[in-house]
Amino acid sequence: MENPYLPYPVRIDDIEVATEDKSLKTFTFVFVNPEDEEKFAYKAGQFAELSIPGVGEIPIGIASSPVEKGFVKFTVFRTGVVTTHLHNMKKGDLMGIRGPLGNWYPWDKLENKNVVIIGGGFAFTTLRSSIVYMLDPANRKKFKNIDVVYGARSPGMLLYREELFDWEKRDDINMHITVDGTDDPDWKYHTGFVPQVVEDNAPVADEDTYAIVCGPPIMIKFTQPALTKLGYQPHQIIMSLENRMKCGIGMCGRCNIGKELVCKDGPVFTLEEINQTPKEY
Partner 1 sequence: MNFITIDKKDWAPGVDQSRKTYRVYGPVEDKNGCQIKPLAPDMQPKMDAPVTVMSAKSVLFPQTEKILTATLDESKEDHHVMKPVETDDMPRVVLGIRPYDAKAVHLVKLNFDNPDYKDPYWCAAYDATTFVGLGVTRPGPCDFSTAVGSGPFSEEGLDVLMADMDDKYLAKILTEKGEKWAAACGFATAADPKESQVLFDVLKKEAEKQIQADVNTDKLAQKTILDLYDAPFWDEVAFSCINCGTCTYVCPTCWCFDIQDETRHNTAVRFRNWDTCMSSLFTHHASGHNPRGTKVQRVRQRFMHKLKYFLDKYDQGIMCVGCGRCVASCPVNIDIREVCNRMNDYETTK
Q: Is residue 269 near partner 1 by the rule CB under 8 A? A: no
Q: Is residue 246 near partner 1 by the rule CB under 8 A? A: yes
- Cβ neighbours, 10 Å, residue 278: 11
Q: Does 214 show up as a binding residue in the annotation?
A: no
Q: Is residue 162 near partner 1 by the rule CB under 8 A? A: no
Q: Is residue 56 near partner 1 by the rule CB under 8 A? A: yes
DSSP annotation of 140: G
Distance separating alpha carbons of residues 225 and 240, to the nearest angstrom: 17
Q: Which of 22, 79, 91, 166 is close enough to bind partner 1 by CB under 8 A?
A: 79
Q: Which of 64, 83, 126, 223 is close enough to bind partner 1 by CB under 8 A?
A: 83
Q: Is residue 91 near partner 1 by the rule CB under 8 A? A: no
Distance separating alpha carbons of residues 24 and 253, to the nearest angstrom: 29
Q: Which of 15, 30, 55, 67 is close enough to bind partner 1 by CB under 8 A?
A: 55
Instruction: Decide: 59 and 245 in contact? Cβ < 8 Å.
Output: yes
Binding flags for partner 1, 18-47, as an x/- string (CB under 8 A): --------------x---------------
Q: Measure the CA dihedral 120/244/217/51, to 10°.
A: 0
List alpha helices for 93-148, DSSP H: 107-110, 124-135
Distance separating alpha carbons of residues 240 and 223, to the nearest angstrom: 13
Instruction: Decide: 252 and 246 in contact? Cβ < 8 Å.
Output: yes
Q: How far is the CB of 42 from partner 1 (least distance, A)?
A: 16
List alpha helices for the chain, DSSP H: 34-39, 81-87, 107-110, 124-135, 161-169, 194-201, 217-229, 271-274
* Binding to partner 1, residues 193-222 (CB under 8 A): 216-217
* Binding to partner 1, residues 101-140 (CB under 8 A): none
Instruction: Decide: 114 and 208 in contact? Cβ < 8 Å.
Output: yes
Nearer CB in complex with partner 1: 33/112: 33
Q: Is residue 277 near partner 1 by the rule CB under 8 A? A: yes
Stretch that binds partner 1, among 52-60, 141-149, 157-165, 227-235 (CB under 8 A): 52-60
Q: Does 263 show up as a binding residue in the annotation?
A: yes
Q: Is residue 169 near partner 1 by the rule CB under 8 A? A: no
* Residues that bind partner 1 in the complex, under the rule CB under 8 A: 1-7, 9, 32, 51-58, 79-80, 83, 93-96, 216-217, 242-244, 246-247, 249-259, 264, 276-278, 280-281
